[in-house]
Structure 1
Amino acid sequence: MKILQVTPFFKPLWESGGVARVAYDISRNLHENGHEITVYTTNRSIYPNDLPTNRPTGVDGMNVYYFENLRKYVPSVTPPVMPYRMPAIARKEIAQFDVIHIHDHRTLLTVIASHYARKYGIPYVLQAHGALPQDTGSTRMKRLFDLLWSKKVILGAAGVIALNETEAERYRELGVDEGRIAIVPNGIDFAEYPDLPARGRFRAKWGIDDATKVVLYLGRLDPTKGIDLLIRSFAKVAGEFDDAVLMLVGGDMGHNEEFRQRVRSLDLDDRVIFTGFVSKEDKMAAFTDADVFVTPSFTGFPVTFLEACLCGTPIVTTGRGDLLGWVDGAVGFNTEYTPEALADAIGRLLADDALRAKFGEQAKELVRTRYNWRAIVHDIEAFYAKVADNGASVGSPSGV
């Protein structure tokens, strides 16, 4: 099949978040399975780069367009991703594809790609990556986008991919027919993790000895992730465990000073470490060296959960946002979204070496047997074939 992947960011812009990684992993596995893959994306997220723009370039056997993103000209604010050259290319090329997979529904790339898909009768699959709710991030921008485009984009899709049952129910509430919904989790490509780092490397880099208990958060340092709650929870943990530290690993999304102020107000300056954005190697070393991985709030299916499992690191999360039912009692704990509940779950794991080891071994087994990309991409291929056979007309409800 000739498949177009549309994603706001792609390799090598990993700092932009999990969507870039998932879109790349799906695309690469599809390419390895013999499909012809083209990617429409942009060249700018947080950090400057010298990617070629507005023309196809080869990336691991795929044709990738890094459209120049006008966002770079207004760095002091966060406007929408604006690929101004994409319409000219899409107008000429989209009719040639068998199916289009659009990642992240509230972007101008999505508006452009879905418009031409409907115009030329090409079926498209939409994957929101946990971003359907309006009550996270910039709610004003989300409401404006939804008012202008969301119904047309979502109901115009021949199929939608939900990362979990929570997201599938949100699609149903928006009016998507059951037959157009596929629940497909994220996964891990084990070829990208040939050798996990030995324990101790990340600790040594940050001056942490082996006896210290490490509570790890890894991801975007964004208020929607529950960072403030985690810091307040850790204050309670720190009062019980003199040898515990909290490591906040991830790029500054513009809120680090708020988080640092919270740390200072709780007198935790010597117990909380901000590392900034780290390389993939250091990320995996952080997972390996951590005693507990904590993400208080999330939507979708974070790849970081699977990477923690791969390294045998127990997980603590909550039911705030979306819910991953496979976590609780198997690889860690799902708990309430309060400082007390989160601190209690973290403390239970820090105090019980045998429980951490048990959850760690179960986590390794789970990710190897259930959440690997090669198996997951076969499910995605089957869904593509289904929507292609049904034709684009299934994604063109009256009034759209």
Structure 2
Amino acid sequence: MRILFITPILVPPILWAGSHRVVYDISKALSKRGHEVIVLTSDIINIKEKKKINSKIDTCNHVKIVRNKIVNFKLTEITGMTISTDIMAFLKKALKDFDVVHAHEYRTYENIVLHHYAKKYDITYLLQAHGSLRRDDPKRSLKWVYDIFFGYSLLKDASKVIALTPTEAEQYMSMGVPKEKIAIIPNGIDLSEYAELPPKGSFKKKFNIPEDRKIILYLGRIHKIKGVDFLIRAYAYLKNKMDFKDAVLVIVGPDDGYLSEVKSLMHDLSVSNSVLFTGLLSEKDKIKACTDASIVAYLGPFEPYGLVSLEAAACETPVIVAQETPMAEIVNRGKFGFSVKYGDVISLASMLHRVLSDKELTENLGRNGRRYVFNNFDWSKITEKYEQVYGEVTNDKR
């Protein structure tokens, strides 16, 4: 099949958001199975840092990436969307040439343009929101506006929508999508990257962390909704109130507008000297970080999935996630970590202390996680589910 993916940002190997990683991994997996995959995206690398990539067309792992030039960064910052005139020309000319059109994420400019031309030329498309349907965050008013003018029509006219979990399927239904149009397909990870783990200590050596120090690791964007402040408060309680001095908190990921507040909080809680910020790391260095960590904390209360937890488990590292999230169910089922009520600082600090103080527990959770992830989240198996959905859509077209 000739498959078109549409997504706002994709610049491998700089995959700083979970959805970027998923889009790229699905593309690679489909390509390996003989499909021709073209990804239509923007020329942005990072909106906050105003970074762009110069190449118009790239090929990575047999996946062709076509980039549209955005109008300007100011307009992107104001709207939160990668607005480009190039995408209109591409879709007008080439949309009819694909067997499958698969739109990734939900409230995007690309989806507005896709919907227009799909209606005009009677083209079917699939939509995968990647957990972006919710409206219970500071941008809820803007999200309402998008939904009223574009979103509900976009969902209504999609041939199929893909949900990560039953919870996301319910969110689709609450927005008017019939149950029969929803396919539930979980995310996976590229297990070939975790087949042979790096030697213990390589990350600590690179960042001058003493060998006897334990690492509490956060991997992800530094954003208010990600629970970084919750983790820092618990770390401060662990260090200052529970007198556990043998752990360093390592925060890996790009600033997404919240770094200054995080540093101010660290200063107020007197933990600045024992928190390390690495910025964005390569995939290899992230695996080294997970391998050296004693525990990975990924505590966003609105996380639709949370690939970080699966990646940590693949490295034999236990995880802590927020309760009442889809990943909490997976972690509990696989017995490779714990879940905590979001905002309960003392409970989180106590869980951290328990894991950091019990080597046997840490090793058991680690073994459970690696086994569970390798048995259930291999992209090669999950890709078959995408092919099945694509087949249903193309058969419907005929």
**5 Å matches for 1:37-52?**
37-46=37-46, 48-52=51-55
Q: What residue number does 1:173 align with? A: 174
Q: Which runs of 5+ in 1 are unaligned?
A: 393-400
Higher mean alpha-carbon deviation, 215-224 vs 29-38, is at: 29-38
Deviation for aligned residue 1:71: 4.4
CA RMSD in angstroms, aligned pairs only: 2.0
Deviation for aligned residue 1:27: 1.1
Q: What residue number does 2:295 align with? A: 292
Q: What residue number does 1:110 align with? A: 111
**Aligned equivalent of 1:305, options 294, 309, 326:** 309
Does the CA contact (< 8 Å) of 2:76 and 2:83 recur in 1?
no
Secondary structure of 1:317's counterpart equals: strand
Higher mean alpha-carbon deviation, 248-257 vs 141-150, is at: 141-150
**Aligned equivalent of 1:331, options 326, 329, 336:** 336
**Aligned equivalent of 2:358, options 348, 352, 359:** 352
Give the Cα–Cα distance (whole angstroms) in 1 for the partners of residues 25 and 201 of structure 2: 29
Does the CA contact (< 8 Å) of 1:9 and 1:16 recur in 2?
no
Q: Which runs of 5+ in 2 are unaligned?
A: none
**5 Å matches for 1:1-400?**
1-12=1-12, 14-46=14-46, 48-53=51-56, 56-72=57-73, 79-136=80-137, 138-193=139-194, 195-239=196-240, 240=242, 241-297=244-300, 298-319=302-323, 322-328=326-332, 330-337=335-342, 338-391=344-397
Amino acid at match of 1:335: V
Secondary structure of 2:4's counterpart equals: strand
Secondary structure of 2:273's counterpart equals: coil
Higher mean alpha-carbon deviation, 109-118 vs 371-380, is at: 109-118
Secondary structure of 1:12's counterpart equals: coil
Does the CA contact (< 8 Å) of 1:11 and 1:21 recur in 2?
no
Can you list the C-alpha shifts for 1:231-286, whole angstroms capped at 9, x where unaligned?
Answer: 11111111321111111111111211100000000011122111111121211111
Q: TM-score, normalised by structure 1?
A: 0.92
Give the Cα–Cα distance (whole angstroms) in 2 for the partners of residues 309 and 233 of structure 1: 22
Can you list the C-alpha shifts for 1:141-164, whole angstroms capped at 9, x where unaligned?
Answer: 322211211101112111111111
Change (3 A) 1:75 1:119: closer
Change (3 A) 1:71 1:137: farther
Change (3 A) 1:57 1:210: closer
Does the CA contact (< 8 Å) of 2:318 and 2:365 recur in 1?
yes
Higher mean alpha-carbon deviation, 215-224 vs 62-71, is at: 62-71
Q: TM-score, normalised by structure 2?
A: 0.92
Deviation for aligned residue 1:76: 7.0
Change (3 A) 1:76 1:113: closer
Give the Cα–Cα distance (whole angstroms) in 2 for the partners of residues 50 and 14 of structure 1: 11
Secondary structure of 2:329's counterpart equals: coil
Which structure has more relative contact order (CA 8 Å, sep 6+)? It is 1
Amino acid at match of 1:270: N
Does the CA contact (< 8 Å) of 1:166 and 1:323 recur in 2?
no
Does the CA contact (< 8 Å) of 2:15 and 2:21 recur in 1?
no
Secondary structure of 1:278's counterpart equals: coil
Identity rate, percent: 34
Can you list the C-alpha shifts for 1:326-384, whole angstroms capped at 9, x where unaligned?
Answer: 20270101121121222222222112211111110011101111001000000111011
Deviation for aligned residue 1:45: 3.2
Give the Cα–Cα distance (whole angstroms) in 1 for the partners of residues 70 and 144 of structure 2: 22
Does the CA contact (< 8 Å) of 1:9 and 1:19 recur in 2?
no
Give the Cα–Cα distance (whole angstroms) in 2 for the partners of residues 49 and 193 of structure 1: 30
Amino acid at match of 2:392: K
Give the Cα–Cα distance (whole angstroms) in 2 for the partners of residues 105 and 354 of structure 1: 43
Give the Cα–Cα distance (whole angstroms) in 2 for the partners of residues 75 and 122 of structure 1: 28
Secondary structure of 2:332's counterpart equals: coil
Query: Number of aligned pairs?
Result: 390
Deviation for aligned residue 1:311: 0.4
Can you list the C-alpha shifts for 1:85-124, whole angstroms capped at 9, x where unaligned?
Answer: 1001101111121221111011001111232223322221
Can you list the C-alpha shifts for 1:304-326, whole angstroms capped at 9, x where unaligned?
Answer: 11210110110101125544412
Amino acid at match of 1:377: T
Amino acid at match of 1:282: D
Give the Cα–Cα distance (whole angstroms) in 1 for the partners of residues 16 and 208 of structure 2: 28
Deviation for aligned residue 1:23: 0.7
Higher mean alpha-carbon deviation, 335-344 vs 98-107, is at: 335-344
Give the Cα–Cα distance (whole angstroms) in 1 for the partners of residues 162 and 64 of structure 2: 24
Change (3 A) 1:379 1:137: farther
